[in-house]
């Protein structure tokens, strides 16, 4: 087994050795001024490492580091950053500690199958991951006593390459743990911690890695260790495997293994927050522990219920994990008796009336075993209440106890640094600590003080940066390994930063209807090719490796991008991930969103776009019914039903583009500023920025979910 990756830095001089700790704490990633302390060491190496300080530090020659350690200017910056870092980590006073006090030490365990934190740690598939990643960052900023559990996917990273037929090739890349911001959790100085998942047969062993997210530790479980049977080594290979038994094993590892690991590390969480149903077996383990303390099952179940917060994200019945009873028997037959119940009562815990029977439904189990349950937007709350009515037959027609907390995005992560600098300039004089209060909607009213031309100039700069990045990428491919010239064009080589630019980037699941805008190709061509008012569209996104329907949609878009009569104004950018998402949500003009309602429980990329003044053109699904105020973007499809929903929605998009979006953008004054457009940008930033921030979200979880659950827990024991 490999040594701890942190041991590879003996060449870093003592004077600046704090850089190692800094590189291993993702706190650097949401503090633009802190990034510079790495970048200044060697800007080219910073770019070559793809903004990954662990990789960069390990590869920098000793001379570079030594010379930095003797450069007074560098050291001044270094010392300032390090003192901020230490202060951040030692901070005793926080929003949480100032507002809530408990008689005893309290802690919250947060469990999620994926985390989107930074691209050097590719353990995410999409929105659910970025939601949990943003949640952790915000919990750190607000000082919540939270620890998190997830997976160390060794093949988390699916690199996307599109072949010349437009077909997505899945290139899996095994995560290089030495180059990722992770350290192995050790049993003692030279033995890594390895644990057997308790009571589960056949046995599964796990190793543990730690990620530091500011003040929040995230523990990643790893089954790719030599102690495991080869079959079990693959459990943590990749996200969301389609193999049912393997998936069950994943969820056993996450829930039961995760709880056990916390125990081993001496962390006894007061309450648990399950992000989606995947980790719900953690509740079984909590019940088992309570029963082991001499409490009967009913009481143990009640205690666990009172101390659990559960967030559901899936608005369609088929999307929930359900395991057949024969598989449950295979792994849990030892477990029933430990809970003090028989097989039937055990299996009934995961009963959902809408399942045909014979299935253990993870969401149903989690809903029935939690005290605070929520969907992730107002609309999704309604959908979830309708969907799970059958679980509460005792309240027919009554209010189903599922609430909602609308998702939000971590503002320091998703607000572009240049944007932030500009806001600083105008907000700070009257509100110096505005960033610490960025969920306060009043502060954002000051955005009206920014001259329109200045905001537009920053936006244009970000758009040029996006277009350059895409073109440079293609240029390097063309000039380097070489590629089909058509690929250079469909990859965005002809993009123009002065053209009205729509962005569409997300996972290529069928329900997201990524190709909807091509429904009437001739009409789209007219919109795109208007010679005075052209429009270009940038697409990006990966399909799940086994989702051929998704791959066909990518192929279709790719083929349109090739067509000469789209004039190179349709681009498909390969390998969408955290970094490309940053460029896109900062740099396009319009963010297009057209899933089939009510399939998008919330959606968060549109929030990231709005925060940066990128106008949302979206169907009224997910968060948009809450976000849209008629002045901050465009909405359609609110009332559409009927047989040809695609047609109706596509027509509305074309109408909006032709009548409103295009004219508004191209109505520019002699100084090339589209004043009415900028007004809408300001409205989007100030109306959506604070309200759809992770800060607002985490405060809501705290007040409505965590604190009541913590009170339930502490009242019993003390």
Q: Given the rule CB under 6 A, which residues bind ligand PLP?
A: 126-127, 130, 506, 577-578, 581, 603-606, 608
The C-alpha atoms of residue 277 and residue 290 are separated, in whole angstroms, by: 21
CB of 256 to ligand PLP, least distance (A): 29
Region of residue 568 (left: phi > 0; alpha: psi -120 to 50; beta: else)? left
- The 3-state DSSP class for residue 372 equals strand
CB of 414 to ligand PLP, least distance (A): 8
Asked if 406 contacts 376 with a C-beta cutoff of 8 angstroms, the reply is yes
DSSP state of 589: S
Q: Burial-class residue 355 by CB neighbours within 10 Å (0-12, 13-18, 19+).
A: middle
CB of 511 to ligand PLP, least distance (A): 11
Q: Where are the alpha helices (DSSP H) in 563-658?
A: 578-587, 605-611, 624-627, 645-656
The nearer residue to ligand PLP, 379 or 569, going by C-beta atoms, is: 379
CB of 546 to ligand PLP, least distance (A): 19
CB of 22 to ligand PLP, least distance (A): 24
CB of 509 to ligand PLP, least distance (A): 9
The nearer residue to ligand PLP, 125 or 561, going by C-beta atoms, is: 125
Region of residue 276 (left: phi > 0; alpha: psi -120 to 50; beta: else)? left
The C-alpha atoms of residue 182 and residue 23 are separated, in whole angstroms, by: 10
The nearer residue to ligand PLP, 492 or 622, going by C-beta atoms, is: 622
The nearer residue to ligand PLP, 132 or 228, going by C-beta atoms, is: 132
The C-alpha atoms of residue 352 and residue 371 are separated, in whole angstroms, by: 18
CB of 122 to ligand PLP, least distance (A): 10
Asked if 226 contacts 1 with a C-beta cutoff of 8 angstroms, the reply is yes
- The 3-state DSSP class for residue 341 equals coil
The nearer residue to ligand PLP, 427 or 591, going by C-beta atoms, is: 591
The C-alpha atoms of residue 475 and residue 59 are separated, in whole angstroms, by: 26
**Cβ partners under 8 Å of residue 587, min gap 6:** 462, 463, 464, 465, 466, 467, 501, 503, 614
CB of 603 to ligand PLP, least distance (A): 4
CB of 312 to ligand PLP, least distance (A): 15
The nearer residue to ligand PLP, 308 or 377, going by C-beta atoms, is: 377
CB of 492 to ligand PLP, least distance (A): 18
3-state secondary structure 10-43: CCCCHHHCHHHHHHCEHHHHHCHHHHHHHHCCCH
The nearer residue to ligand PLP, 49 or 604, going by C-beta atoms, is: 604
The nearer residue to ligand PLP, 278 or 506, going by C-beta atoms, is: 506
Asked if 677 contacts 463 with a C-beta cutoff of 8 angstroms, the reply is no
Give the closest residue to 586 by CA, choosing from 421, 712, 717.
421
Helices and strands of the chain, counted as H and E runs = 32, 22
The nearer residue to ligand PLP, 129 or 258, going by C-beta atoms, is: 129
The nearer residue to ligand PLP, 562 or 608, going by C-beta atoms, is: 608
């Amino acid at each position: 087994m490999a040594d701890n990756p942190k041991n590879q830095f003996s060449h870093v001089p003592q004077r600046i050795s704090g850089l190692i700790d800094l590189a291993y704490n993702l706190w650097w990633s949401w503090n633009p001024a802190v990034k510079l302390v790495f970048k200044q060491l060697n800007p080219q190496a910073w770019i070559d490492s793809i903004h990954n300080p662990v990789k960069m530090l390990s590869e920098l020659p000793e001379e570079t580091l030594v010379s930095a350690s003797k450069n007074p200017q560098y050291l001044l910056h270094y010392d300032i950053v390090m003192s901020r870092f230490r202060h951040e980590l030692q901070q005793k006073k926080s929003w949480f500690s100032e507002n809530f006090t408990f008689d005893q030490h309290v802690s919250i365990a947060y469990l999620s199958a994926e985390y989107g934190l930074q691209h050097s740690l590719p353990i995410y598939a999409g929105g659910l991951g970025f939601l949990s990643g943003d949640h952790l960052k915000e919990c750190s900023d607000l000082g919540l006593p939270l620890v998190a559990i997830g997976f160390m996917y060794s093949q988390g990273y699916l690199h996307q390459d599109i072949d010349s037929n437009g077909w997505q090739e899945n290139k899996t890349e095994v995560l290089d743990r030495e180059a990722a911001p992770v350290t192995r959790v050790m049993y003692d100085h030279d033995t890594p911690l390895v644990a057997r998942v308790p009571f589960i047969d056949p046995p599964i062993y796990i190793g543990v890695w730690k990620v530091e997210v500011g003040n929040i530790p995230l523990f990643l479980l790893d089954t790719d260790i030599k102690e495991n049977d080869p079959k079990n080594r693959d459990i943590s290979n990749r996200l969301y495997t389609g193999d049912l038994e393997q998936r069950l094993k994943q969820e056993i590892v996450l829930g039961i293994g995760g709880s056990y690991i916390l125990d081993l590390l001496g962390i006894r969480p007061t309450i648990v927050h399950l992000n989606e149903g995947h980790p719900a077996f953690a509740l079984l383990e909590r019940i088992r522990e309570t029963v082991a303390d001499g409490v009967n099952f009913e009481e143990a179940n009640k205690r666990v219920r009172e101390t659990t917060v559960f967030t559901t994200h899936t608005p369609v019945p088929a999307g929930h994990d359900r395991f057949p009873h024969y598989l449950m028997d295979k792994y849990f037959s030892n477990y029933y008796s430990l809970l003090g119940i028989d097989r039937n009562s055990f299996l009934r815990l995961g009963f959902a009336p809408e399942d045909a029977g014979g299935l253990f439904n993870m969401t149903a189990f989690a809903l029935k075993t939690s005290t605070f349950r929520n969907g992730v937007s107002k609309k999704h709350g309604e959908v979830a209440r309708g969907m799970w009515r059958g679980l509460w037959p005792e309240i027919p027609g009554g209010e189903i106890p599922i609430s909602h907390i609308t998702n939000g995005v971590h503002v320091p992560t998703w607000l572009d640094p240049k944007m932030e600098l500009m806001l600083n300039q105008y907000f700070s004089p009257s509100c110096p600590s505005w960033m610490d209060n960025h969920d306060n909607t009043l502060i954002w009213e000051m955005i009206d003080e920014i001259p329109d031309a200045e905001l537009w100039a920053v936006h244009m700069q970000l758009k040029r940066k996006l277009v350059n990045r895409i073109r440079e990428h293609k240029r390097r491919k063309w000039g380097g390994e070489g590629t089909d010239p058509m690929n250079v064009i469909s990859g965005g080589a002809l993009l123009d930063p002065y053209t009205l630019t729509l962005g569409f980037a997300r996972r290529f699941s069928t329900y997201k209807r990524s190709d909807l805008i091509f429904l009437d190709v001739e009409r789209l061509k007219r919109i795109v090719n208007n010679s005075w008012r052209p429009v270009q569209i940038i697409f990006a996104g990966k399909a799940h490796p086994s989702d051929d329907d998704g791959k066909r949609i990518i192929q279709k878009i790719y083929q349109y991008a090739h067509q000469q009569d789209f004039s190179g104004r349709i681009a498909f950018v390969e390998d969408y991930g955290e970094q490309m998402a940053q460029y896109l949500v900062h740099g396009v003009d319009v963010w297009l969103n057209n899933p089939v309602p009510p399939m998008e429980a919330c959606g968060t990329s549109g929030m990231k776009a709005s925060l940066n003044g990128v106008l949302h053109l979206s169907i009224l699904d997910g968060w948009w019914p809450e976000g849209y105020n008629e002045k901050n973007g465009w909405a359609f499809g609110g009332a559409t039903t009927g047989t040809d929903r695609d047609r109706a929605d596509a027509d509305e998009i074309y109408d909006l583009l032709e009548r409103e979006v295009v004219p508004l953008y191209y109505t520019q004054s002699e100084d090339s500023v589209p004043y009415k457009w900028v007004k809408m940008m300001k409205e989007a930033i100030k109306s959506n920025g604070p309200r759809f921030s992770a800060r607002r979200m985490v405060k809501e979880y705290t007040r409505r979910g965590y604190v009541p659950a913590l009170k339930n827990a502490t009242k019993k024991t003390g």
